[in-house]
Structure 1
Amino acid sequence: MNDVVIAKTAPKAVGAYPHARRVGNLLFLSGVGPRSPVDNSIPGNVVDADGKLVSYDIEAQCRQVFANVRAVLEASGARWQDLLDVTVFLTDMQNDFAAYNRSYAEHFTDSQPCRTTLGITALPTPIAIELKCIAVIAAEA
């Protein structure tokens, strides 16, 4: 089985790629950011009159990115507990890691996937966090 997943309850992809791809019982999620699936806004972002990012709220972005990952998982037939590996990209490791780490711990209380967190200089849109995930989907009985 090699299925492409487009999740109607997640924000549209910002490029030519699916939300996820299932190969056998493995599910590979494309990078998931914190944009709202309703209006494509980025929770917590404050922009000036010229549209330049002035500030952002990493906690608001964390809540939304976790909700978006959950939406892609559910559209794929997977659950939050099925996550095996999470790679997290932060654009400001020094200032955002503590708040992100607290939010992560609140969302991963019962399951503990492997995790890697990377500090990067930029993402394709004005977001401060993006997740890349791998999950396993239980075989149907």
Structure 2
Amino acid sequence: MGDAIRADAAPAPVGRYPHARRAGGLLFLSGIGPRDPASDRVPGNTLDAAGRLVGHDIVAQTHAVFANVRAVLEASAACWEDLIDVTVYLTDMAGDFAAYNRVWAEYFPDVETAPCRTTLGIDALPTPIAIELKCVATLHPKEGR
């Protein structure tokens, strides 16, 4: 079935699944969100006095989710440049796409080497986050990897 990966530097999965799994020459990442690995808090979320979510900062969450993806890649002996396909889930496509797309361009400035990408607008995610990524990366047999 492939080797399961647990990344200590990434937030714990919210369900019973690994962070990633190696299969052949590919690495499949489970859905990765922007939660802070140390505190389990979601960066950029605004809560009211009762603790209910009333707003979010997609830029902060996009930077955080990219950091978490990078942590899983590194725990899997892969790197950022090994990403080949990314599915992005946004809970507010109309309000967040432009800002998220600007952050994406910071991390992937060259369209020729950027991974393929699909972005979907969805109603909700399992925790109060505004973005989640599902990624596939290649694994290259390299010295030290």
Give the TM-score, by structure 2 length.
0.94
Segments of 4+ moved more than 4 angstroms: none
Identical residues among aligned pairs (%): 65
Q: Which sections of structure 1, spanning at least 5 residues, go unmatched?
A: none
Give the TM-score, by structure 1 length.
0.97
1:59-91, CA deviations, whole angstroms, 9 ceiling, x for partnerless residues?
000000000000000000000000000000000
1:97 and 1:61 map into 2 onto residues whose CA distance is: 12
Q: Which moved more, 1:85-94 or 1:50-59?
A: 50-59
2:137 and 2:54 map into 1 onto residues whose CA distance is: 35
Q: How many residues align?
A: 141
Q: CA deviation at 1:109?
A: 2.4
Which SS does the other structure have where 1:2 is aligned? coil
1:44-70, CA deviations, whole angstroms, 9 ceiling, x for partnerless residues?
001112110011100000000000000
The residue identity in structure 1 corresponding to 2:9 is T
Partner of 1:42: 42
1:44 and 1:105 map into 2 onto residues whose CA distance is: 20
1:109 and 1:9 map into 2 onto residues whose CA distance is: 26
Q: Which sections of structure 2, spanning at least 5 residues, go unmatched?
A: none
Output aligned runs, 1:41-120, within 5 Å: 41-110=41-110, 111-120=113-122
* RMSD between superposed Cα atoms in Å: 1.1
